[in-house]
Amino acid sequence: MFDYSLVHWTAFLSAAVLLNLSPGPDMAFILGQTARGGTRSGFAAMFGIWTGAFGHVVMAATGLSVILATSAIAFSFVKWAGAAYLIWLGINALRSDGASFMAEDARRDTSFLSIYRQGTLVGLLNPKVAIFFLAFLPQFVVEGAGPVPAQLFLHGFLIIAVAGLVEPPLVLAGGKLVSRLRGNQRIGLWMERTLGTVLVTLGIGLALENR
């Protein structure tokens, strides 16, 4: 079971690394929360995004993603919910006065669990991710290597595992940079505005997406 060649693993892991490095709502949310609240907030966002991604892996392995891929109503519902959520997060950032960037204690105003839940929703409420997994993972299914659902789950889980190697260093580096800049409200205001603009843009982009 799960008997794959070296060529198979090389191709899959290379693709997984590139996927995790590519920009998108997930990476924008992680880096944005790191910029806003430092390393602690960045890791909370990262774990939330991973949880959302794991949900998509489970759906792909069990065939539930097919519903999003084939049902216009289901796709539209999830798409609009995700777009509205991203835009809402972006507007909140745009309305900030940058004060949350001023003091070390301010970072505790938004709890780890709150940011984690936000990250989970950002990850789950993106139908393009579900459809991507449905299209991407089957390419690495090998006949005779094991049950298809198990192979889909394995490769999906490994994409998240690769994220565990790629994303933490980015959060740590971002956290160090933020700690050096902390205390300047003008920089804080600029970062909040940038984060808000990115999230609203991503939300609008998601709303305009077609299957």
Q: What is the structure's pLDDT at 105?
A: 45
- The pLDDT of residue 181 is 63
Tally Cβ neighbours within 10 Å of residue 63: 12
Give the DSSP letter string of 76-145.
Answer: HHHHHHHHHHHHHHHHHHHT--SGGGT-TGGGGSS-HHHHHHHHHHHHHT-HHHHHHHHHHGGGG--TTS
- Contact between 55 and 124 under an 8 Å Cβ cutoff? The reply is yes
CB 171 within 8 A of CB 115: no
Burial class (CB in 10 A: 0-12, 13-18, 19+), 18: exposed
Low-confidence ranges of the chain (pLDDT < 70): 65, 68-69, 97-110, 180-189, 191, 210-211
pLDDT computed for residue 106 by the predictor: 46
Q: Please indicate, yes or no, whether the overall pTM of this predicted structure exceeds 0.85.
A: no
For the record, the structure tokens of 184 come out as 């300047």
Q: Which of 137, 11, 160 is nearest to 69 (CA)?
A: 137
Q: Which of 28, 44, 197 is nearest to 126 (CA)?
A: 28
Rounded CA-CA distance 191/97 in Å is: 10
Predicted local confidence at residue 22, as pLDDT: 75
Query: Can you give the pLDDT at residue 69?
Result: 63
Question: Which position has the token pair 């994303």?
Answer: 167
- Cα–Cα–Cα angle for 138, 141, 142, rounded to 5 degrees: 155
